[in-house]
Amino acid sequence: MPKSWTDGAPQPVAMQESAHLKDPLSYKIKRHFLGAALNRHSLGNQRLSKRNAYGILSSDCISSSAYGGEQILVALIPAFGLAAFTIFPTMLAVVLLMLLVITFSYRDVIGTYTKSGSAYVVARENFGRVTSQVAAIELMFGYIITVAIQSAAGVAAIISTFPEINDYKVHITVGIVLLLTFVNLRGVKEAGLIFVVPSYLFIMGMFIVFAMGVYRYFDGSLPIYSAQTEGLVEIGQAQGLISLAAVLYILKAFANGSASLTGIEAISDSVPIFKSPEHKNARQVLLLMSATLAILIVGIGWLAKETLAIPYADGTPTVISLVAKAALGESVVGSVLFILTQLGTMLILFAGANTCFSAFPNMVNIVATDGYLPKRLSQRGHRLVFSNGIFFIAGGALILVIATQASITVLAAIYALTVFIGFSLTSAGMTKKSWNASSLKINSKVLLHGITAVISSFTVLVLITLKFAEGTWVVVIGSPIFILIMLHFNKQYNREQEALMVSSEQERATTIVRHNVTVLVDNVDLATVGAIRYARSLKPRNLSAVHFVIDDRRAEEIKDAWAKSDALDDVTLELIDCSDRRLANAALDYAIRMTEKSDVELTLLLPRRAYSGFLGRLLHDQTAEEIAAPISQLQRVVATIVPFDVDRITSGSQLTVQPQTVATRASVSSTELFKPVKDVIKPTEPISHYAEDLTPIGKIQWRQRAQVQGQVTAIKSAAKGAAPLLQVEVWDQSGGVTLYFLGRREIAGLEVGAQIRAEGMVGEEEGVLTILNPSYQLLV
> Domain check: are 174 and 289 in the same one?
yes
495 pLDDT more than 80: yes
Cis amide leading into 317 (omega within 30): yes
CA distance 750 to 756: 8
Mean pLDDT of 693-714: 89
Q: Which of 158-167, 481-490, 532-541, 598-607 has the lowest mean pLDDT?
A: 158-167
Whether 696 is in a domain gets the answer yes
**Exposed/middle/buried for 656, CB within 10 Å: 0-12, 13-18, 19+?**
exposed
Q: For residue 553, what are the CA distances in angstroms to 103, 219, 520? A: 33, 65, 18
Strand partners, 716: 574, 727
Q: What is the pLDDT of residues 742-764, one digit of tens each?
A: 988 888 888 888 889 999 999 98
Q: Give the domain CATH number at 689.
A: 2.40.50.140
Distance between CA atoms of residues 320 and 209, nearest Å: 10
CATH of the domain at 662: 3.40.50
Residue 497 lies in a domain: no
pLDDT at position 442: 67
Mean of all residue pLDDT scores within the chain: 79
266 or 454: which leads in pLDDT: 454
496 is a domain residue: no
SS3 label, residue 4: coil
DSSP 550: S
pLDDT of residue 32: 57
**For 759-777, what is each residue's pLDDT tens digit?**
999 998 888 889 999 999 8
Of 180, 173, 73, which Cα lies nearest the Cα of 399? Answer: 173
Assess whether pLDDT exceeds 90 at residue 210.
Answer: yes
pTM of the model: 0.65
How far is the C-alpha of 715 from the C-alpha of 717, rounded, in Å? 7
Report the distance separating Cα 518 and Cα 537, nearest Å: 13
Per-residue pLDDT at 752: 86
Residues 503, 498: Cα–Cα separation, whole Å: 10
**pLDDT attached to residue 249:** 73
Mean pLDDT of the region 335-354: 85
299 three-state secondary structure: helix
The pLDDT confidence band at residue 132, using thresholds 50, 70 and 90, is: confident
- 644 shares its domain with 740: no
Beta 637-645 vs 602-610: how paired, if at all?
Answer: parallel
Task: Indicate whether 509 and 481 sit together in one domain.
Answer: no
Highest mean predicted confidence (pLDDT) among 78-92, 209-223, 277-291, 692-706: 209-223
Same domain, 196 and 330: yes
Q: Residue 313: what are its φ and ψ, rounded to 5°?
A: -65, -35
Secondary structure (H, E, C), 129-152: HHHHHHHHHHHHHHHHHHHHHHHH
CA–CA distances in Å: residue 395 to residues 357, 389, 431, 486: 12, 10, 36, 19
Q: For residues 61 and 715, give the distance between their C-alpha atoms in angstroms, rounded to a whole number.
A: 46
Supply the pLDDT for residue 758.
92
Percent of all residues in the chain with a pLDDT value above 90, rounded to a whole number: 9
Is the predicted pLDDT of residue 290 greater than 80, yes or no?
Answer: yes
How is the chain split among helix, strand and coil, in percent rounded to 5?
60, 10, 30
Rounded Cα–Cα distance for residues 382 and 8 (Å): 48
275 Cβ contact partners less than 8 Å away, ≥ 6 residues apart: 47, 48, 49, 50, 281
Residue 267 located in a structural domain = yes
| Boundary (domain end) residue, out of 491, 513, 539 | 491
- Angle, CA 385 vertex, CA 528 and CA 184 arms, to 5°: 155
DSSP classification of residue 704:
S
For 496-588, strand residue ranges (E) read 516-520, 542-549, 572-577
DSSP 581: -
Strands 735-742 and 768-772: parallel
Cα dihedral 208/214/216/222 (nearest 10) = 100
pLDDT tops 90 at residue 708? yes
State the Cα–Cα distance between residues 387 and 376, nearest whole angstrom. Answer: 9
Whether residue 277 has a cis bond before it, omega within 30° of 0? yes
Is residue 767 within 8 Å of residue 10, measured between CB atoms? Answer: yes
Question: Which H or E element spans position 770?
Answer: strand 768-772
Give pLDDT, residue 652.
Answer: 62
Using the Cα atoms of residue 536, residue 540, residue 544 and residue 545 in order, give the sign of their dihedral: negative
Structural domain includes residue 680: no
CA gap 239, 406 in Å, rounded: 33
CA–CA dist 393, 413 (Å, integer): 19
Integer CA distances (angstroms), 97 to 104, 451, 471, 667, 744, in order = 11, 11, 27, 62, 62
pLDDT > 60? residue 189 = no
Which residues have C-beta within 8 Å of that of residue 509, sequence separation ≥ 6? 533, 536, 537
pLDDT of residue 539: 85
Q: At 547, which helix (H) or strand (E)? A: strand 542-549
Q: Same domain for 464 and 600?
A: no
User: In terms of pLDDT, which residue wins out, 20 or 84?
Assistant: 84
Band (525; pLDDT cuts 50, 70, 90):
confident
Q: In this structure, what DSSP letter does residue 570 have?
A: T
Amino acid at 266: A
SS3 381: coil
DSSP conformation class of 571: S
* Pairing relationship of beta strands 705-717 and 637-645 according to DSSP bridges: unpaired
Winning range, highest mean pLDDT, from 250-259, 312-321, 453-462, 705-714: 705-714
Residue 120 in domain: yes
pLDDT at 675: 34
Which of 654, 674, 694 is at the close of a domain? Answer: 674
For residue 188, give every residue at least 6 positions away whose Cβ sits within 8 Å of its Cβ, in sequence order, or none.
46, 47, 48, 56, 273, 358, 384, 385
3-class SS of residue 13 = strand
Q: Tell me the three state secondary structure of residue 700.
A: coil
Shared-domain flag, residues 20 and 154? no
Weakest mean pLDDT among 112-116, 152-156, 470-474, 662-666: 662-666
The DSSP string of 201-270 is: HHHHHHHHHHHHHHHHHHHT------TT-TTBPP------SSSHHHHHHHHHHHHHHGGGGTTTHHHHHT
Answer yes or no: do 637 and 550 share one domain. Answer: yes
N residues, the chain = 780
Q: Residue 252: its pLDDT value, please?
A: 75
What residue numbers bound the domain in which 548 lies? 502-674
Examine the domain organization and report whether 211 and 359 are in the same domain. Answer: yes
Is 40 inside any structural domain?
no
Domain boundary among 643, 674, 705: 674
Count of CA atoms in the C-beta half-sphere (13 A) of 606: 20
* Between residues 545 and 317, the one the model is more confident about: 545
- 609: closest CA among 644, 639, 641? 644
From residue 429, alpha-carbon distances to 128, 446, 450, 480, 527 in Å are: 10, 10, 9, 20, 40
Beta-bridge partners for 776: 758
- DSSP of 98-129: HHHHHHHHHHHHHHHSSS---HHHHHHHHH-H
Residues whose CB falls within 8 Å of the CB of residue 638, separated by 6 or more in sequence, listed in order? 601, 602, 603, 604, 632
Same domain, 304 and 340: yes
What is the phi/psi pair of residue 135, to 5°?
Answer: -65, -40
**CA atoms lying within 13 Å on the CB side of residue 208:** 20
* Residue among 478, 567, 485 nearest 528 (CA): 567
d(CA 345, CA 156): 10
Identify whether 39 is part of a domain. no
- Is the pLDDT assigned to residue 736 strictly greater than 80? yes
CATH number (domain holding residue 373): 1.20.1740.10
- 684: confidence class by pLDDT, cuts 50, 70, 90: very low
Burial classification of residue 279, based on how many CB atoms lie within 10 Å of its CB (0-12 exposed, 13-18 middle, 19 or more buried):
buried
Q: Are residues 15 and 60 in the same domain?
A: no
Q: Are residues 540 and 614 in the same domain?
A: yes
Average pLDDT over residues 579-604: 85
What pLDDT sits at residue 730?
Answer: 92
- How many Cβ atoms sit within 10 Å of the Cβ of residue 642? 18
Q: Taking residues 23-29, what's their average pLDDT?
A: 65
Quick one: 479 and 522 in the same domain?
no
Q: Percent of the chain having pLDDT more than 70? A: 81
Q: Is 172 helix (H, G, I), strand (E, B) or coil?
A: helix
Encode pLDDT of 477-493 as tens digits.
Answer: 888 899 899 999 989 88
How many domains does the chain divide into? 3
Strands 637-645 and 775-779, sheet pairing: unpaired
Strand residues in 477-541 grouped as ranges (E):
516-520
CA distance 148 to 153: 9
Per-residue confidence band for 26, with pLDDT thresholds at 50, 70 and 90: low
